[in-house]
Amino acid sequence: MPLGKPWADRTVNNTNPYDTGATPMTGMTRSYSWTVTNTTLAPDGVEIPMLVVNGQFPGPLIEANWGDWIEVTVTNGLETEGTSIHWHGFLQTGTPYEDGVPGISQCPIAPGKSFTYRFRAELYGTSWWHGHLSAQYINGLAGPIVVHGPKSNDYDIDLGPVMLSDWFHTYYTNLLEQVYYASPTGPILPPMAENMLIQGKASYNCSNTKLPCTPNAGSAQFKFTKGKKHLLRLINHSAEALIFFSIDGYNVTVIANDFVPVEPYSTDLVTIAVGQRTDIVVEATGKSTDAVWMRITEGPCCSLNDGLSFTTTAAIYYEDANTAVAPNTTSSINDSRYLFPLNCNNQPLDVTVPAYAMPVKEPSTTLSFLMTGGDNSTGQFVWWMNNITFRADWNDPELLEAKLGNAASLPIERALYDLGTNSSVRLILTSVGFPASHPMHIHGHNMQVLAEGVGSWDGSTIVNAANPQRRDTQLIQPNGYLVVQIDLNNPGVWPFHCHVAWHVSEGMNINIFEQSPTLEKEVQIPYKMAQTCRDWSAWTGTHVVSQIDSGL
């Protein structure tokens, strides 16, 4: 192949990743066959009911080259639940029906039925897949994706995905019931994370649980080679946690945020919110016998935990280290770096500069949203975006209705915004009243992040207007603002939601319908979409489905 790589001489600087004509034509399809089942596993020693693909947790890796097609046949082996799988960060240009969101792009896959997703790796780097029906993903229905492509920095050894998450010892349906009726002052408290996992592993103090528990369940290990540069692909697949990642005594070089290579910068602490990924390069500057801790913490208070186990470590052993002995390093990060609300944000926008420069243009339209939370008329805690609490209808996907020209007649709680033929939209979010940070995730796009901060936007300040940060998930700070912009060049219906599992379940989502005439006239919806809805309709005709949340 040209220059030994499927992407030939394309680099992070010289090729527009959003120009589909420039995507490498590899002619390859990477195929996977998955079955989703309920099972009992004990990632941290505590046995809990989980949802997994092919019996694995974390779920299987999808690996492809930039420009490949990916084909995944998902069989729903659950007995009492539908499911669907979302491919986080993938643009789905021309394939909006492959996005895997129940009630938006498809009906849930009914128990016993299969659905084959087929989509292209238009972007490259690190991402993840996860169940998008309700909060299924927080009980194990998640896994890594690596799309090989050029990098903004050289490295010697790719250590692969590093899966990071909070962990709860309760099935998601029970957690959601708790979330709805919780108050910070009780009597029902919000769910508190009980552990943190690295590569799906951690230990737990069994005296803290009444569930079947095996102590010292074990932790992940990594290998460093002296003098080499190691690539680690950090992925936060939490329900809620804002994760602080560090390696004792080391600086790391950030080379990508989400699917966006950035100009490399050095830091001692990486902040990753739910849904976000950060690729780092770490140079093994120690002795060949060294052992050092990698550590993640969520705390104590940017996200909720029970205070018992909010930091987890994994050993990094150099090639001649004694792996029978745990590292004895201590954290080089002062606890003052984790404070609420000051530190509950992503790294400052001025340090995260995309390698491929794209200036901000004047948007063709602007939407402003006030994000608030509180009890609704039936006493459930919900979120509003401009007074709308989103709720999906799993039997009636918005994309399929939009294709039929019915967008305008959908109920208001579907939160569908038809932007017609506008070429771009600026979204101005202001979060008031309830001091939580929200990792806002856009489907079908990377967004330019123009500004973020505490309070309200001044209406004009744009950070790095010549080339602002781009990514698919960005934190809005507690009682803060976030200004993002996307080009409306991807006909379809694209959710824009908080990736905290509780918050999207409580309705923090809007759906952007872009290029409606093109969708209605030119995008062909494959037959499998209608078949999946018929299968789901048939199943729900004979089984009671309880949609306890927004559906997402």
Residues that bind Cu ion (CB under 5 A): 438, 498, 500, 503
The whole-angstrom separation of Cα 412 and Cα 391 is 9
CB 241 within 8 A of CB 193: yes
Q: Identify which of residues 145 and 392 has a Cβ nearer to Cu ion in the complex.
A: 392
Q: Give the other-Cβ count within 10 Å of 96's Cβ.
A: 26
CA dist list (Å): 243 to 236, 276, 277, 299, 440: 7, 10, 11, 8, 15
CB 280 within 8 A of CB 234: yes
Please state the closest distance from residue 496 (CB atom) to Cu ion, in A.
Answer: 12
The whole-angstrom separation of Cα 233 and Cα 98 is 25
Q: Identify which of residues 254 and 500 has a Cβ nearer to Cu ion in the complex.
A: 500
DSSP labels, 161-218: EEEEEEE-SS-HHHHHHHHHT--TTSSSPPP-B-EEEETTB----GGG-SS-B-S---
- At residue 131, the 3 state secondary structure works out as strand
Tokens of 272: 């990753």
The whole-angstrom separation of Cα 542 and Cα 149 is 47
DSSP labels, 343-357: T-SPSPGGG--BSS-
Q: Identify which of residues 150 and 439 has a Cβ nearer to Cu ion in the complex.
A: 439
Please state the closest distance from residue 440 (CB atom) to Cu ion, in A.
Answer: 8
Tokens of 198: 């690295």
Please state the closest distance from residue 504 (CB atom) to Cu ion, in A.
Answer: 7
Q: Identify which of residues 74 and 475 has a Cβ nearer to Cu ion in the complex.
A: 475
The whole-angstrom separation of Cα 409 and Cα 397 is 13
Please state the closest distance from residue 438 (CB atom) to Cu ion, in A.
Answer: 3
Q: Identify which of residues 179 and 197 has a Cβ nearer to Cu ion in the complex.
A: 179
Please state the closest distance from residue 503 (CB atom) to Cu ion, in A.
Answer: 3
Q: Identify which of residues 506 and 535 has a Cβ nearer to Cu ion in the complex.
A: 506
Please state the closest distance from residue 147 (CB atom) to Cu ion, in A.
Answer: 27
Please state the closest distance from residue 546 (CB atom) to Cu ion, in A.
Answer: 23
Q: What are phi and psi of 511, to 5 degrees?
A: -125, 125
Tokens of 447: 């967004």
Q: Identify which of residues 36 and 344 has a Cβ nearer to Cu ion in the complex.
A: 344
Q: Identify which of residues 280 and 500 has a Cβ nearer to Cu ion in the complex.
A: 500
Please state the closest distance from residue 552 (CB atom) to Cu ion, in A.
Answer: 12
